Structure 1
Amino acid sequence: MFTASRIWRTVGLVSAAATLMLLFGFLYAVRDVIYPGTENQQSYVMEDHAYAAPEQSSPLDVTVIGDSLAKGTGDDMGSGFAKRTVELLTKQGASSKLINNLGINGLTTKELLPMLDQHGVQYSLGQAGIILLSIGANDLFDGEEPLETRTELPTEAELEQSVKSASDNLIKILDKIRNINPQAQLVYVSLYNPFSDMKELKETGDQAVARWNGIAAEAMASIEGGLIVPTFDLFTLQAGRYLSGDHFHPNATGYQAIADRIVQGIAVKE
């Protein structure tokens, strides 16, 4: 009886203590929600401070920005030319990493311009030693409907007008990127005609792409550290090998071929 009494008394004391601890924890949590302490405020301040002052990065760290090719759409490995470029540089013994992939499906030059005013985009570009840019393909077609989803092929007049209107945007994009990060090597991946094997769009498409690439080459030639990567010959001569099933984006092999040329150009610049 005596032993049982002591046991029940001990159990009661432990239960009471546990109840008090739970009550105290509940009250403390409520106080912390209503009157947040300086610990949480300090953590936000530290995050903002770290965000505003990027850490030291490698001269070969990469940020990619632009359209669906920049994103890597069509690559069943999910790498695209950006990640493949980093992998090639790393295999060569260089220190390189992919800082951010800012590619967006269907993006046009008009839509990219305001993106470059965003703080997060500027931060990613500012950290990079190499900036890869892919833009313009969606501008050769109706801005409201990219070519890969169109049911009608664009006319020669439409393509010519698209090149004229978008070329000014391209110049502004290049200027903005240089102002954001004057030290980085800017690499522009030029356009190809994904329908070069289609009689209806081969000649007019080839002409529009060639005109666009000429404008881009001239603009990049005026930029210190600028590099333009040709892709027209790859997809014109071997579309079946390098294009994905949608007949618009590169497949894994196509992205690898683009990455090979990017790294070859970077090596020449060094």
Structure 2
Amino acid sequence: MEEWLLNDSKWTWRFVCLISIAATLIFIVGFGYAVKDIVYPQGDAPLTSLPQKTGAPDEEVTGILKVVAIGDSLAKGTGDNTGSGFVKRAVEGMSEGDQEVNLLGNLGINGLTTLGLQSELNEEGVKYTLRQANTILVSIGGNDLFRGAGIVQSNRNTSPPSSDEPPAPTDELTSKELLAALPEASKRLEEALRKIAEINPEARIYFLGLYNPFGDIPELRVPGNQAVTAWNNAAMDIINTHNNMTLVPTFDLFHNHLGKYLSTDHFHPNGDGYQRIADRIIQAVQ
């Protein structure tokens, strides 16, 4: 009996020793992992599922184009018998496929210059409308060059002539006279485009280049082409400094086709001319 108790006590101590050794090993391993986490901390493990957004879907998800136009009489659509202009025509064209397009507003004003555009961009209502868009169409500059040189008068209170003949220039103009307005106008254009991008930094801005509406008038062909080219180049220099801006050229759309694509006032496009501009915008946007 005494011998059995002795053996039983011996096995008990052996079992206790094994438990102690195992606990010590577990402690050492755990301590090692703790030191590792402190010395070499790890980031949070990736989540197996992401939380779902509960708010309204943004433009990237929905793919809806929200369009606002701003600028002069071309933006307004003057000269188009249907009243659509390039704005509505572009929106309708982009809507023909799977793309959903909403025209939020047309802020075009007859006779507007770069100076007037700067003033318009300070209006709270204009700012609000621009902030709702993700696609902004801008047309400005024709009145600065041609009205400033005295070739055309403001369109605010004048009606187009009934004749289809091009207007005769009152004086023989030189490119120097047409270019006189360029330095200040291009500065105002730069400030206006910067302001639009500041109002809505997320929107894509599409700026329409100028065409020469007087290219079929011998006295105005060369100076007009030179002035328009200089303006378009100045606009491109400005636009190249902004990642969210695109120049939409129009000069080639009307060159040698003025009789076909200009309205009876020989300055604004007719419906077919606006359609060509709209098609060019659709190409740029899509």
Paired with 1:84 and 1:76, the residues of 2 have a C-alpha distance of 13
> Structure 2 regions of 5+ residues with no counterpart?
1-56, 155-166
> Structure 1 regions of 5+ residues with no counterpart?
1-54
Contact 1:141/1:162 (8 A) holds in 2: no
Residue number among 116, 119, 128 corresponding to 1:114 in the alignment: 119
Contact 1:59/1:130 (8 A) holds in 2: no
Q: Does residue 124 in structure 1 map to residue 143 in structure 2?
A: no
Residue 91 (structure 1) shift: 0.4
Residue number among 146, 166, 170 corresponding to 1:152 in the alignment: 170
Paired with 1:176 and 1:166, the residues of 2 have a C-alpha distance of 15
Normalising by the residue count of structure 1, what TM-score does the alignment of the two structures yield?
0.74
Paired with 2:176 and 2:96, the residues of 1 have a C-alpha distance of 46
Normalising by the residue count of structure 2, what TM-score does the alignment of the two structures yield?
0.70
Residue number among 204, 215, 219 corresponding to 1:200 in the alignment: 219
1:147-200: per-residue Cα shift (whole Å, max 9, x none)? 256963554332111111100000000100000001111000110000101101
Residue 89 (structure 1) shift: 1.1
Q: Does residue 213 in structure 1 map to residue 232 in structure 2?
A: yes
CA-based RMSD of the aligned residues comes to: 2.0
Structure with max Cα Rg? 2
The answer to which of 155-164 and 244-253 deviates more is: 155-164
Q: Does residue 233 in structure 1 map to residue 252 in structure 2?
A: yes
Q: Does residue 97 in structure 1 map to residue 115 in structure 2?
A: no
Paired with 1:219 and 1:129, the residues of 2 have a C-alpha distance of 20
Q: Does residue 175 in structure 1 map to residue 180 in structure 2?
A: no
Contact 2:149/2:177 (8 A) holds in 1: no
Residue number among 56, 65, 68 corresponding to 1:60 in the alignment: 65
The secondary structure found in structure 2 opposite 1:62 is strand
Residue number among 243, 250, 253 corresponding to 1:224 in the alignment: 243
Size of the alignment, in residue pairs? 213
Matched residue, 2:28? none
Residue number among 71, 78, 86 corresponding to 1:81 in the alignment: 86
Matched residue, 1:262? 281
Residue 227 (structure 1) shift: 1.0
Matched residue, 1:25? none
Contact 1:148/1:246 (8 A) holds in 2: no
Contact 1:70/1:134 (8 A) holds in 2: yes
Residue number among 263, 266, 269 corresponding to 1:244 in the alignment: 263
State percent identity of aligned pairs. Answer: 48
Paired with 2:134 and 2:148, the residues of 1 have a C-alpha distance of 31
Residue 60 (structure 1) shift: 1.1
Paired with 1:128 and 1:113, the residues of 2 have a C-alpha distance of 19
Paired with 2:116 and 2:221, the residues of 1 have a C-alpha distance of 27
AA partner of residue 199 (structure 2): I
The secondary structure found in structure 2 opposite 1:63 is strand
The secondary structure found in structure 2 opposite 1:244 is coil
Q: Considering fraction of residues, name the structure with more helix.
A: 1
Matched residue, 1:47? none
AA partner of residue 284 (structure 2): G
Question: Are the structure 2 counterparts of residues 74 and 211 from structure 1 closer, same or farther at C-alpha, using a change threshold of 3 Å?
Answer: same
Contact 1:70/1:104 (8 A) holds in 2: yes
Contact 1:141/1:158 (8 A) holds in 2: no
Contact 2:71/2:140 (8 A) holds in 1: yes
Paired with 1:92 and 1:141, the residues of 2 have a C-alpha distance of 38
Paired with 1:162 and 1:69, the residues of 2 have a C-alpha distance of 20
